[in-house]
A and B are shown apart, each in its own frame.
Chain A
Amino acid sequence: MNRTLLSALLFLGFSVSAYAEPVTINMWRHETGDDEVNANKAAIERFNASQSKYKVVYESLPKGSYTQAITAAALANNLPCIFDMDQPTVPNFAWSGYIRPLDAYLDARLKKTINAGGKGEFRGKLYSVGQFDVALGIFARKSALSKAGIRIPSAAKPWTLEEFNAALSTLKASGDWEYPIEIHNGYDGEWWTYAFSPWLQSFGGDLLNPKDLTEAEGTLNGPAAVKFGQWFQGLFAKGYANKKPADDQAFLLGRVPLDYTGSWAFSDFSKKWGSDLVVLPPPNFGKGPKIGAASWQWGISTSCKNPEGAAAYINFMMSPKEVATMSDKTSLIPTTTGAAPLTKDYNSKGKARFYYEFSKRFAVSRPATPGYPFVTSTFEKAMRAIVQGANVQDTLDDAVDLIERNIKDNKGYGLN
């Protein structure tokens, strides 16, 4: 009797599942703030409800070890259909053959509307797209600047190196602040390259020779780079910035008048300081202000059995309405020209429109080479040594040697 019951149940189970079950598309994302997770969850629900062919199921992975987790999954041939990647790691995945080009899958009209900050490319092919970008800027307290008689710069007329130095020294000398600026050197990992390689580029140096991305001699340790390194070291030696910040709350708690960080802090900071808050463009150190481009983006794995389903979701996600909703819910910068006018903060009269302008005017991508993980790790180590007072020329020379040997070991990463 038991057996008949069991088979009846099994039959019932099978017949239910066989009835027009949508194809499951697995997706991984790294853990982020609640706003972003919820906005993403809502978008997935909208997609699942909009059609009956596919069903996107997502899994959230811890942020700290996320890139290692997807690397391990790639090696074990266990990648989900869709997953998010930090844009500079995209060429590495593409070179290794774990993600597929999106050109054939993405709606051609949609593709044309995506800004540089929303695309991950390698050797002329598009491999990843992102709904949002972030931008860097210097948050400042208007009251502190006007009290010290410092000019408030604009995107059209940013501070020069001399003006920036003078501003820091005036603020320090006023005695109101132990440190005039917070640059978040307490963060680990990618922040260092994301935040400080644009400064290096504004000085006239670069991480790699931009022509071929296979050598660093003369660009990462050339005179402009050394000038940048010495200036950067001076920020700490002169007591303008804290060598070892305890947390990232210095600006929020009123311990510093200037804070160099990304647009993600905008809503918290404006809640706290209201009309006293002003966001300044990064200084022009010689070659114009520069900020990092591109944030986390979505790609489709080569092992995905239903790329059409994955592509349907990505097309859905990149539609102007979806991108705009994401931006409204998270206050992140939209990456498509179609979405920007639909957003609350980034339409032509929005209160954060300037970030959209910063992104468009100043954003530079990190080098699109599969060797990027090594380059960024080496750059971070070199910058940390410089903060601690190491000889700038020697440190940068060593970094160049390490990077060039790594490129040689990897046979040029398929770039030459």
Chain B
Amino acid sequence: MTTPTFESTNVHPTKPRKKNSFPDFKSALWMSAPALLGLFVFIVLPFLLAILFSFSNQRLMSPNPTEFVGFRNYDRLLSVRMLTLQPEKDEAGKILLDETGQPTYPRIRSVLRSDENLREFKELFTVSLFGQRTAVVAKDPIFWIGLLNILKFSLMVVPLQCGIALLLAFLINQKLPGMQVFRTIFFSPVVTSMVVIAIVWTFLYDRQVGLINQMLSALSFGHIAPIDWLGEEKIALLSIVIMSAWQGMGFQMVVFLAGLQSIPEELYEAAELDGAGGWQKFRFITLPGLRNTLNFVLTTTTIGALGLFTQVDVMTQGGPNNSTVTVMMHAVRSGYQEQDIAYGSTISVVLFVLVLLIALVQRRLSMGGQR
């Protein structure tokens, strides 16, 4: 009795599947249409417009007609040059020395202003190497500083945030009473508005009245002098890293938790029977089991980190001295505050391409041998 059915499925192996899959696809399309429409109208279309605007001089408000300007915006954003500076010499050709015996150099701005081709450039930084002074000049130094800042931020926040999230996921994965409460507590910063959190942390970080400094001072019996968390050039970005990691880790924690719970319990039991220790179980069962989760978390965290904006806008406005300025912030400022939508679009397009590249590279690296 079973043979004919077996045979019939064997004779036409593809036909029934084809018949079923086409209506499936159709209904899938129908059901996802509202979401796809939203995606197109609010994400794809604005992005295509941004690409279009980036080649024009479109302003937010202006009676002047929009003109096509080619690559002018890209040139303004990305132009970088190296400039070798010659020490200043007196009329006899002898190098002029300052009081400390070092050769003196002309002011970079006067050099840039004197050359018509360099007029729009500004100093990014200057290095002295082998008795020669080289200045790197860019048309938009803020963009490059912002780029460096978001790279620094990502390099710090991604391992910190994901590491703590993984640790927390292990902790709350224990089968102990009351774990739900801890899950809720650890997750609560994620659902709180970032603006609110940033304002609260600004107070926590305050040098004079902030709780963090008072705590440090109490714990060290007054040995730790108050730290200007957001006002010190060298620490400001780190302060934002710590706060961002704290705010965002709940989300990663939940994803890791789901990943942990999808690893079959039997594997651990089998490993235990084979005499594996805690570290070995982690290394050979948990990590491989979490591989896809880890890839997802690392990639989304990096993409999120590269778009850093809200915290910085609320807490430091990019200061002190541009040490926390980000590319996204530069885009928003240029586009809205300064009403140069074309330039703001250009910055967003470049940021998009960079994020895409970084995400692709990261995916390649983290996939390793896997396809």
Contacts and interface: CB of A to CB of B under 8 A. Distances in A.
A246 B210 CA distance: 8
From B109, B206, B338, name the one whose CB has the most chain A CB atoms within 10 angstroms: B338
Interface string B39-76: 00000000000000000010111111000000000000
B333 interface: yes
Given A246-B208, A398-B122, A410 B64 contact: yes
Given A178-B208, A246-B209, A97 B231 contact: no
Contacts of B333: 377
26 contacts: A71-B60, A71-B61, A92-B339, A93-B61, A178-B208, A243-B228, A244-B206, A244-B228, A244-B320, A246-B202, A246-B208, A373-B337, A373-B338, A374-B338, A374-B340, A377-B333, A384-B320, A385-B321, A385-B322, A388-B319, A394-B123, A405-B120, A406-B340, A409-B57, A410-B64, A411-B64
Interface string A371-394: 001100110010011011110001
A374 B202 CA distance: 28
Which secondary structure dominates where chain B touches chain A? loop
B281 interface: no
Given A377-B337, A385-B322, A394-B109, A75 B57 contact: no
Interface of A: 68, 71, 74-75, 92-93, 95-98, 178, 188, 242-244, 246-247, 370, 373-374, 377-378, 381, 384-385, 387-390, 394, 397-398, 401, 405-406, 409-411, 414
Contacts of A387: 319-320
A105 B337 CA distance: 31
B230 interface: yes
A414 B63 contact: yes
B182 interface: no
A391 B83 CA distance: 21
A374 B344 CA distance: 13
B321 A388 contact: yes
Contacts of A377: 333, 337-338
Interface of B: 57, 59-64, 109, 120, 122-123, 202-203, 206-210, 228, 230-231, 233, 317-322, 333, 336-340
Which secondary structure dominates where chain A touches chain B? helix
Contacts of B122: 398, 401
Nearest to A188: B317
Contacts of A244: 206-207, 228, 230-231, 320
A97 B59 CA distance: 14
B248 to A, nearest CB: 23
A394 B320 CA distance: 17
B233 A388 contact: yes
A389 B336 contact: no
B279 to A, nearest CB: 45
B269 to A, nearest CB: 55
Nearest to B322: A385
A398 B336 CA distance: 21
